[in-house]
């Protein structure tokens, strides 16, 4: 049986480890467990879904900062690595060790399922942080990728008025075809009328002018990863109710999210694609 080492930096990855333990010889690195340096090498290494924060593992539940390359040292030469959002610098280390790499973001089925969970979490946040009902609410969604589409679909089914703000003319046409309103980035009138603004673009698309145009009674939910769609400190200085919420699936439905990751790992390993 192949040996597998899993870094459980949050609840999502702990559930992932539980699911995989029936198929592999699994050792988990989690809070309270022996440190990774005391463990032997593994055939397969599973990093967190959002694997890296700079040069360190994105593992908030583990003590201290864990250099990503130290995690890679626990993988045997020619082994298999699973992770998400792996940068070129880290991938170069993997290449030196002849590691077969699978990035979770490359798998459409998993990405779509995570987008649906993100939308579920976004809906919960919006309901909690706005004083109006979703039915009739004006929601401005920035971007129109998988997460934005999932959010638009879920909110519109509950009666929200959806406006998609996106630079791409093709994306705007697609949004209109699905029954939403669409505009280029940015229309200050639309920003001022929004009860909620949902950003999905991991770039500073919400500049000072855009933030200033948003009603102080609105809720701004930033689902993008760093550097986020706006400067959180500047948004707070304007008196906006602004929240960053990357990695929502691991927070709102960690068991479901973790098991989805595990199923992807199982499918790739048992399908012969991850033999190493």
pLDDT band with cut points at 50, 70 and 90 for residue 34: low
pLDDT single digits (tens) 161-201: 999 999 999 999 999 999 999 998 778 899 999 999 999 99
Give how far Cα 81 sits from Cα of 143, 169, 221, 224, 269, Å: 31, 38, 32, 25, 11
The pLDDT of residue 36 is above 80: no
Q: What percent of the chain has pLDDT over 90?
A: 82
Residues 6+ apart with CB under 8 A from 276: 43, 44, 78, 79, 80, 100
Residue 272 pLDDT > 60: no
Positive or negative torsion for Cα 214, 218, 224, 226 = positive
**CATH number of the 3-104+254-270 domain:** 3.40.50.720
Domain 110-245's class? alpha beta
Within 8 A by CB and 6+ apart from 188, the residues are 209, 210, 213
Provide the sign of the torsion angle of the four alpha carbons 133, 134, 138, 140, taken in this order: positive
Sign of the alpha-carbon dihedral angle for 9, 124, 113, 90: negative
Which segments of the chain does DSSP mark as H helices, in order?
11-20, 68-72, 88-96, 108-129, 146-157, 169-177, 188-193, 208-213, 232-237, 249-252, 254-270
pLDDT level of residue 271 (50, 70, 90 thresholds): confident
Parts of the chain belonging to CATH 3.40.50.720: 3-104+254-270, 110-245
Q: Is pLDDT of 101 > 70?
A: yes
Q: Give which of 121, 128, 130 is closest to 151, Cα–Cα.
A: 121
Torsion, Cα 73 79 80 86, to 10 degrees, reads 40
Does the pLDDT at position 75 exceed 70? yes
């Amino acid at each position: 049986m192949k040996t597998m080492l899993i870094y459980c930096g949050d609840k999502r990855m702990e559930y992932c480890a539980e699911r995989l333990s029936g198929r592999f010889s699994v050792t988990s690195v989690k809070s309270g467990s022996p440190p990774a340096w005391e463990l032997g090498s593994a055939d397969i290494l599973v990093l967190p879904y959002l694997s890296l924060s700079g040069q360190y593992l994105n593992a908030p539940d583990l003590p201290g900062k864990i250099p990503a390359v130290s995690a890679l040292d626990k993988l045997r030469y020619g082994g298999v690595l699973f992770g998400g959002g792996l940068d070129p610098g880290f991938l170069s280390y993997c290449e030196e060790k002849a590691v077969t790499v699978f990035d979770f973001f490359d798998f459409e089925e998993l990405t779509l399922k995570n987008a649906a969970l993100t939308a579920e979490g976004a809906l919960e946040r919006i309901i909690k942080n706005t004083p109006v009902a979703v039915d009739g609410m004006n929601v401005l969604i920035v971007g129109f990728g998988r997460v934005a589409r999932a959010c638009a679909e879920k909110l519109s089914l509950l009666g929200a008025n959806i406006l998609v703000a996106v630079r791409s003319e093709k994306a705007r046409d697609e949004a209109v075809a699905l029954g939403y309103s669409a505009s280029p980035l940015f229309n200050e009138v639309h920003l001022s009328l929004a009860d909620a603004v949902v950003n999905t673009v991991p770039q500073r698309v919400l500049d000072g002018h855009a933030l200033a145009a948003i009603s102080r009674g609105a809720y701004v939910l930033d689902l993008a990863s760093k550097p986020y769609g706006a400067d959180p400190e500047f948004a707070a200085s304007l008196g906006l109710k602004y929240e960053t919420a990357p990695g929502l699936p691991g927070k709102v439905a960690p068991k479901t999210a973790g098991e989805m990751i595990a199923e992807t790992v199982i499918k790739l390993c048992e399908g012969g694609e991850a033999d190493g």
